[in-house]
Amino acid sequence: MPARFLDPEEAVALVEPGSTVAVGGMQLTAAPMTLVRGLIRRRVRIGRLVTSPSASLQAELPIAAGLVDEIVSPYVGFEHLGLAPAFRRAAETGTLRILEIDEGSLTHALHAGAGGIPFVPCPPGVDLTDIPRVDPELFRRVVDPFTGSEHWAVPAIRPDTTLLAGAVADERGNVALDRFPFTDREMALAARRLIVEVEEVVPAGALADRAPGTTLPSFLVDAVVVAPGGCHPTEYPERYGRDEAAIVDYLQLAKDPAGLEDRVAELVAESEDAYRARRGGTS
């Protein structure tokens, strides 16, 4: 069946409270912020948040809103703009459970989830780190049945819902990223439910010339949300840049933890249309 075209509030209503949610994008690029804001407006509790190898506002904002119980992520921060204040406070106070994982092991775990494999051995470099020691829930020793040698392994990651940002969807719900996919495609293939926000809709058949690995067929996509400029304040390559001033404003706002949840609610506005009107445009 073709994917359903829904508004943001209808789409995030598909996310089950307390479930595992993966958010795509890499750092300040292609974060699915329309969907993240929708979750915050609905106060959807996230049992476990899974990020790409390097996340920013798509993880920080739900944490600042007090909606995340635990996170699987190698890094949450803002590149040259500094650390993620709500994430750091939650880590220091123990109000957020953090499951440490390195970038390579996370990518392998998503590959395993996408391929229906229960676990996957890690490359040997993880032996040189303390990550398996500090996070025994995600790392176990396994024996290679062919050589008898031991390796660290991680379990498959299979999000209940993955939230992604794409460039376009055709009328049938096929999606094209039109950018480097990062780990977004693995997150999509591993997910039990996939919701994608896109910048625009194009006629059926218009995506036939896209490069392999940069599209998602409609049978994988549960819902499409048309949200021009929806990654704001992060960027979407070749469409619009990041709004660094808005990101700095958030970082200033988040320095003071008192009343932060209420300030985040004001920041995301009462609807996505209101959010777009407040910032004065669609890109």
| Under-50 pLDDT residues of the chain | 282-283
Say what the pTM is.
0.95
Q: Which residues contact 176 (CB under 8 A, 6 or more apart)?
A: 166, 167, 168, 169, 207, 210, 214, 215
CA separation for the pair 51, 58 (Å, rounded)? 8
At residue 239's C-alpha, the angle toward residues 234 and 240, to 5°, is 40
Amino acid at 125: G
253, burial (CB in 10 Å: exposed 0-12, middle 13-18, buried 19+): middle
Q: In what helix (H) or strand (E) does residue 168 lie, and over which residues does it extend?
A: strand 168-170
What is the pLDDT at residue 80? 93
User: What confidence tens digit (pLDDT) does each residue in 170-202 have?
Assistant: 999 999 999 999 999 999 999 999 999 999 999
Q: Looking at residue 82, what is its pLDDT? A: 93
Q: Domain coordinates of the chain in residue numbers?
A: 4-101+158-279, 104-155
Which CATH number applies to 4-101+158-279: 3.40.1080.10, 2.40.160.20, 3.40.50.720, 1.10.287.1080?
3.40.1080.10
What pLDDT score does 106 carry? 97
Can you give the pLDDT at residue 283? 47
